[in-house]
Amino acid sequence: MDSAAAHRARLRPYVEPHLARRAAGVRHPVHDFLFTYYSFRPAQLLRWSAGSQVLPTEKRPLVAALRRLLAATAGREGNFGCFGMHEWAMVYRSEENGTRHPVPLRLGGAATDTVVESHRLQCSHFDAFRFFTPQAVPLNTVSPGPSDREEFEQPACLHGTMDLYKHAFRLAGLIPSDLIADAFELAWDVRVLDMRAAPYDMTGTVLDPTGEAWTPVRVETADGKAAYAEAQRAFATRAAPIRARLIAECDRLLST
């Protein structure tokens, strides 16, 4: 099997179920997230490239900016004490604001609000923070914005780790596609934890392509917090070499 065929075979178990759901008009908040939240289309993800030895001039500012963000994140200590409260803050006061997904809340609205109010919110990722409900925004200890990511991004953040996929596909055609695939698979697994720790009741969901049954990570409990932090550390460990390789690719491209 050549590299292109191996690449497609690796990613089809993720892509094909998504395409089938899309054709059927069905959306899933976990399995479809990487295809709907991010702008990289399934056909682009399946396309193989060995990378390029030439950096187009118009791409140089993008590559330089990505390099700065990746290096700033890599150089910062991870915060393993957020316990996934960003997803809870997105449904705070749900009776007034509704929820982001058509899935019941596991504890109900009032008890979910109590969990939010009893925790220290410390979300450092703007693209998560911007979805906080209006009442949750002032509860956060920091106020990340769209233009100060280098000051806030940290390597334990689940959404920052998922964004390694975005950083990689923005360099599609310039970097090897296996690096994009590595970042995609990491983002897939991170999104599963993100939603397992979220306040939604998704009992009975099957996590394709593994077929594993869904179980919540109950971050409102001490055991759930410990499990979340342990998984968060494992993802940070997986992310580090991907981030380092992206930095190396940026350096290679900028040197051409």
Give the tens place of pLDDT for each residue, 115-173.
999 999 999 999 999 999 999 999 999 999 999 999 999 999 999 999 999 999 999 99
Which residue from 225, 204, 256, 240 is spatially nearest to 59, judged by alpha carbons? 256
Q: Helix, strand, or coil here: 200?
A: strand
Give the pLDDT of residue 215.
Answer: 86
pLDDT tens, residue by residue, 41-51: 999 999 999 99
Question: What does residue 102 show for φ and ψ, rounded to 5 degrees?
Answer: -80, 55
Give the predicted TM-score (pTM) of the model: 0.94
What percent of the residues of the chain are helix, what percent strand, and what percent coil, each to the nearest 5?
55, 5, 40
Contacts of 81 (CB under 8 A, 6+ apart): 122, 229
Question: In this structure, are residues 144 and 124 in contact, taking their beta carbons and an 8 Å threshold?
Answer: yes
Which residue from 192, 254, 249, 244 is spatially nearest to 73, judged by alpha carbons? 244
Greatest pairwise CA separation for the chain in angstroms: 57
Over 70: is that where the pLDDT of 246 sits?
Answer: yes
Say if residue 253 is exposed, middle or buried (CB neighbours under 10 Å; 0-12, 13-18, 19+): buried
What is the rounded distance in angstroms from the CA atom of residue 200 to the CA atom of residue 112?
10
Give the pLDDT of residue 209.
Answer: 60
Which residue from 36, 23, 43, 19 is spatially nearest to 172, judged by alpha carbons? 43
